[in-house]
Amino acid sequence: MFGAGFIAAVGLTSSVSVLILAMICFGVCKGFYDAGIFASLYDVVHPRSRASAAGVMNTVGWIGGALATKSAGWYADHGPQQDPMANMSQFIAGGGLIYLAGSVVLLLTVVFFARRDVLR
């Protein structure tokens, strides 16, 4: 959730120093996220299913990454601005909204399902 604002800052800033600071801060947030993602998965998945769950999670992540790369290139060329750089900046800033939406889904999942799944 904290990283979403930094991604938006990366896309919206015109200052190199703000860009570098926002990228560093996003990297720290992403590091915390990555450090706990498989541990949290293993907390709620039965041991015999963990390899499959990790494979599905990786597959979904890589598909999302591949589609985002293709989408970013298309948006840079066909976005509403005349300048591809401005379109790319807008696309990156929009990524902050995607991160925010993902964090809301994760929070709702924790609130409604985590306790039951961990106890099971």
DSSP letter, residue 32:
H
pLDDT-based confidence at residue 115 (cuts at 50, 70, 90): confident
Could you report the per-residue pLDDT of 12-46, keeping only the tens digit for each?
999 999 999 999 999 999 999 889 888 888 888 88
Could you report the per-residue pLDDT of 42-69, keeping only the tens digit for each?
888 889 999 999 999 999 999 999 999 9
Helix 84-109 with 50-78: angle, nearest 10 deg: 150
**Cα–Cα dist 34/79, whole Å:** 31
Question: Average pLDDT for residues 66-90, to the nearest whole number?
Answer: 95
- The pTM is what? 0.81
Tokens 């060329």, residue?
A: 77
Helix 2-12 with 84-109: angle, nearest 10 deg: 170
What residues does each domain of the chain span?
Answer: 2-119
